[in-house]
Structure 1
Amino acid sequence: MNRPHISIVVPVYKAEECLEELYRRLRAVLEPISPDFEIVLVEDCGGDGSWQVIERLAVQDARVKGIQFSRNFGQYYGITAGLDYCLGDWVVVMDCDLQDRPEEIPHLYNKALEGYDVVLARRGQRQDRWHKRITSWLFYKIFAWLADIEYDGEVGTFRLLSRKVVLNYRRFGEQLRYFSALVQWLGFPTAYVDVEHGERFAGKSAYSWSRLFKLATDTIIAFSDKPLRLAVRFGFALSSLSFIYGVYILYRAVIYGFPIVGWSSLFVSLYFIGGVIIALLGVLGIYLGKTFDEAKKRPLYVVSRTTTEAMDTQS
């Protein structure tokens, strides 16, 4: 069997209504590029009929390969599994809801042929609700500041990678995996292509406010120790202000004879400082907890079954 020229890696979560259309449009744009392609669909146990659709597509077309996790691990672990299993010389990573339009893949591919290992799809006008656009913009601004890296918030998951990038990405072993930042960290020649952001074909986003907040927190902790350094600076600043104010009170008492009073302000100050200490210990505790998770060396994901295994059983 020849190595596929191009692989499409798609994490799948509650996408039963999208998969048939996704396959149809992918096949239409990939066959003119090369008939040697594969579509790797990683089903993240969304609880709907997505896996049954993937199995049906794999029977119809051997170029469709399905992977199902044993439980829900998350989008970035789905991407990791897809990159571990794919075989193509070029690999496109995209979402399953068709907001990443398959018709843009030839533009990414043609740009890569100019000599780039990474081609990022930059969305000009996002087809999302206003609150999601605002929170995404805010997240990327805060993330770039805390992680001390430059990151374009108009770039999502949709991108094309060379085989070289994929092989190096597989070397990452950390549990906290922010796909876009890891690819950027690798440092391979990168280009941008402006693309049209499509409408969601069916369903709604699986990211709730709580999941988005957890993702943002985990990502910042995974890529930066700046919160710790900010906590140290804040502690020194608070101590310096307290010392200056103490000297001022002592000066007034000694020089002008003002009595030292203010039990209420003393108690408020104690509670304030106590709260700050607890918060800073909490930040430190989060980092220690994540370090503990990394030290366990657990597998990043667990595969329950693949379509290849199912076809082998049938044969």
Structure 2
Amino acid sequence: MNEININRQGRREARDEIAVIVPVYMGAEVLRELSARLVATLQSITSDFSIVLVDDRAPDNAWPIIAELCTGDPRIKGIQLSRNFGQHYALTAGIDYADARWYVVMDCDLQDAPEDIPRLYAKVLEGFDMAIATRRKEGHGVIKRIGSRLFYTTFSMLAGFDMDWTIGNFRIFSSQIAAGFRDMREQMRCLPASFSIMGFEATEVEIPHHPRTYGESSYTLKKLVKLGSTMVLAHSQIPLRLVMVSGFVIAAVAMLAGLGIAIAHVYGFVQVPGYTSLIVAIIAIGGVQIFMTGVVGIYVGKCLDEAKRRPLYFVRDLRNLTLSRNRNENADFLQQR
């Protein structure tokens, strides 16, 4: 039986057992198959479920298909963002609007198979707050796997906590975790990192990562580097500590070098004073100082972004949904549409 909640207008509403959040970017051609497989799978678990498709405004214009699916099945919900905000902002919007005991987040490209959801659901019923899907080697090429391993190893070193390269976004988690995530309104978003910070009881379930049958991954090298730098800046002060240590080391080396030069002059080892080494040293130290100042400046800029407290996303349209828990500035307009 569904849990009963009271919404903002005072009406009694039933909470779903499971809500599946799917950010949609360049996935228009797989949406019908994805939705059909999700419905078939979730019906084998419970009749109380919802599927939230979040349109992140890709060039393939998936919204008409999402609207059509919502019209055909009220359990399918649609959120159209005002522009492309990014995967983790789309996931944030879906979690804000959904209301369930258990939440599933997954990609739209069918590399995360809907048929694996029952295994994740069965695992959390053993007493865990979250069950995370870990990938086997299938699904990605050798180069992609090596790149992912290097990316997450470097990130773990800089961020100060471990991130497993075999783990993506595909997971199921409790309403407690969802509520905690809703309270985390940082501008720099990374769902796995945010969940890691919370510290709830989590377990892993190994599943196959299926080959992509439609299109190509939207995560280019540039986007991966941007995501990695965002996660490091959002969750770690290690870069600032490295800057501090580097400054101390350079200062110590400079002092030792100065002492050595002074001793060399006293004993007459330096016959001709050189200016080339002096100029090189000045340029090198100046470059390091500019780099250090830039790192600090990035952190200051991110602090300014957080201080503005702007909404994380804007919603243009909704299907089969009411207002979210975190009310947007354009909510009144949406309520009138």
TM range (shorter): over 0.9
Residue 186 of structure 2 corresponds to residue 174 of structure 1: yes
Q: How far off its partner does 1:257 sit?
A: 4.9
Match of 2:7 in 1: none
Counting aligned pairs with the same residue, the percent is 43
Q: Match of 2:51, SS?
A: strand
Name 2:116's counterpart in structure 1: 104
Higher helix share goes to which structure?
Answer: 1
Query: 1:9-59 CA deviation, whole Å, 9 max, x = no partner?
Result: 001111111111111111121101001110000000102231111111111
| Alignment correspondent of 2:143 | 131
Instruction: Please tell me whether the aligned partners of residues 77 and 321 of structure 2 are also in contact (alpha carbons under 8 angstroms).
Output: no
Structure 1 residue 255: deviation in Å? 2.1
- Paired AA for residue 124 in structure 1: R
Q: How many angstroms apart in 1 are the aligned matches of 2:130 and 2:28?
A: 30
Aligned mate of 1:154, from 166, 186, 205: 166
What does 1:1-315 align with in structure 2 at a 5 Å threshold?
Answer: 2-259=14-271, 261-308=273-320
SS at match of 1:77: helix
8 Å CA contact retained: 1:253, 1:260: no
Measured against aligned partners, the alpha-carbon deviations of 1:151-178 in whole angstroms (never above 9, x if no partner) come to: 2121100000111111111100110011
Separation (CA, whole Å) in 2 of partners of 1:257 and 1:89: 78
Q: Secondary structure at the match of 1:200?
A: coil
CA RMSD of aligned residues (A): 1.7
Q: TM-score, normalised by structure 2?
A: 0.89
Paired letter, 1:292: L
Moved over 4 A (4+): none
The 2-side partners of 1:260 and 1:188 are apart by 67
Q: Is the 8 A contact 2:74 2:320 kept in 1?
A: no
Q: Residue 34 of structure 2 aligns to which amino acid in structure 1? A: L
Consecutive unaligned residues of structure 1, counting only runs of 5 or more, are none
Aligned residues: 313
Task: Please give the TM-score of this superposition, normalised by the length of structure 1.
Answer: 0.96
Contact 2:193 2:231 in 1 (8 A): no
| Residue type of the alignment partner of 2:44 | P
Question: Comparing 275-284 with 253-262, which one deviates more in the overlay?
Answer: 253-262
Q: How far apart are 1:260 and its partner, in Å?
A: 5.4
Runs of at least 5 residues in structure 2 that lack an aligned partner in the other structure: 1-12, 323-333
Q: 1:126 to 1:284 in 2, by over 3 A?
A: farther
One-letter amino acid matched to 2:129: D
